[in-house]
Amino acid sequence: MPFTWPLDPQDLFTERHPQMTLGLPAAEVDAVRAAVTEMWPDRPGGWVHEWSALAARHAAAGRHREAAQAYGWAKFPSLADRPKRAALARQVEQYVLAAPGFAVEFERRTLTVPYRGGEATLPVHLMAAPSLAADAPVVLASGGVDSWKTDLHGMWEQLALALPVRLLLFDLPGTGETAHLPMTPDGGAEVIDGLVAFARTIGDGTVGHFGISMGGYYSARAGLSGAVDAAVVLGGPVERSFAPGRGFAFGMDGIVGNALGFDAPPSASELAEAFTAFDLRPLLDLDANGPMLVLNGTDDVHVPQYDTLVFAGRRATRIELIPDTGHCAVSRFDEAMALIVPWLRTALIG
């Protein structure tokens, strides 16, 4: 069962304010910030209550995309209790209502993939520029442990309109609408292998993988193993992030603990033991990778620079550290996209 943990909501506003204002007016975000006094209770002053009240106002006015954004923050940072899970359900509902107004073609599907000797089902979103050819390449894309496929709509829409590819958007195991599956290195890779196999059947057979934050861990894994034709790793942990003694900032220990399937806040030793299996050193020691672009901000508090620089000197690999920005270069994201879009176009299309 998921768990809650001590968390100061103002710390989350401090860290995520630039991200919050990408999809909502700063005045609305600041009003919620002023109203929130506690994290978990679902009552006035509580995180879920105040964000949901903003979302409900947008929904009542027919502003479904803004409602989905606000419900996305209501369920942030983890589906640790019933109010958070209810906020996720409302987010998905509002997002689907907003879909007819998207600038892109959009389809929501439920896929079944092999998983641990059986099968697993997960909702995915397919997104493409209007009238994109059916035989276009496909790019798998996901966020990380706390920002999921529906939260990042603006980014995906920008990518879909800039590239002649079809995006296959999904939530990582342990998160979002795939939270019923625990996040493990092998289990997550198996789910992604199933998505890659499906993606090869709906386009020209060419498949890329774009992962952000923990999603970057899985895109790095897919790229290093040669499972995809091109991989973009944005702020992905790969080796030193999983070293014993690594600390967490802004409540990330509880977020990660929930994703890993713990039913109570894990101890440092429990997290260290769980992380051991995630270390990508065995794949880094091979020479099987396809084309890879690995990038991050120089000032990331979650992922050390080493996990980007470790790719230096690999064949078919480009690394970029964007100065004066943090995790996943979120405050200078236009610069990151200016690198990612042409690189993906060349890697997948030529």
Nearest to 116 by CA among 54, 193, 58, 172: 193
Beta strands 138-142; 207-212: pairing state: parallel
Q: What are the tokens at 135? A: 């035989």
- Is the CB of residue 147 less than 8 Å from the CB of residue 213? yes
pLDDT of residue 247: 64
CA separation for the pair 294, 231 (Å, rounded): 8
pLDDT of residue 289: 97
- Is the CB of residue 258 less than 8 Å from the CB of residue 79? yes
Q: What are the tokens at 108? A: 């929501």
CA separation for the pair 132, 139 (Å, rounded): 14
pLDDT above 60 for 250: no
Q: What are the tokens at 183? A: 């996040």
- Is the CB of residue 50 less than 8 Å from the CB of residue 32? yes
Supply the CATH classification number for the domain 104-348. Answer: 3.40.50.1820
According to DSSP, the residues that pair with 320 across neighbouring strands are 295
Nearest to 32 by CA among 60, 12, 2: 12
pLDDT of residue 37: 98
Residue with tokens 């040669």: 226
Cα angle vertex 113, ends 110, 116, to 5°? 135
Over the stretch 87-107, which tens digit does the pLDDT of each residue have?
999 999 999 999 999 999 999
CA separation for the pair 253, 260 (Å, rounded): 10
Residue with tokens 């034709």: 229
Q: What is the DSSP string of 36-63?
A: --BSS--STTBHHHHHHHHHHHHHHTT-
CATH 3.40.50.1820 residue ranges of the chain are 104-348
One-letter amino acid for residue 237 of the chain:
P
CA separation for the pair 153, 69 (Å, rounded): 9
CA separation for the pair 64, 54 (Å, rounded): 12
CA separation for the pair 194, 174 (Å, rounded): 17
pLDDT band at 249; cut points 50, 70, 90: low
pLDDT band at 243; cut points 50, 70, 90: confident
Residue with tokens 């290195």: 185
Mean pLDDT calculated for residue range 305-331: 95
Over the stretch 274-294, which tens digit does the pLDDT of each residue have?
888 999 999 999 999 999 999
CA separation for the pair 310, 127 (Å, rounded): 32
The number of C-alpha atoms within 13 Å of 18 and in the hemisphere containing its C-beta is 10
Over the stretch 153-164, which tens digit does the pLDDT of each residue have?
999 999 999 999
| C-alpha torsion 74→78→80→81, nearest 10 | 20
Query: pTM for this structure?
Result: 0.95
pLDDT of residue 251: 58
- Is the CB of residue 138 less than 8 Å from the CB of residue 125? no
**Alpha-carbon distances of 26 from 13, 31, 34, 102, 130, rounded to whole Å:** 12, 9, 12, 22, 31
One-letter amino acid for residue 121 of the chain:
T
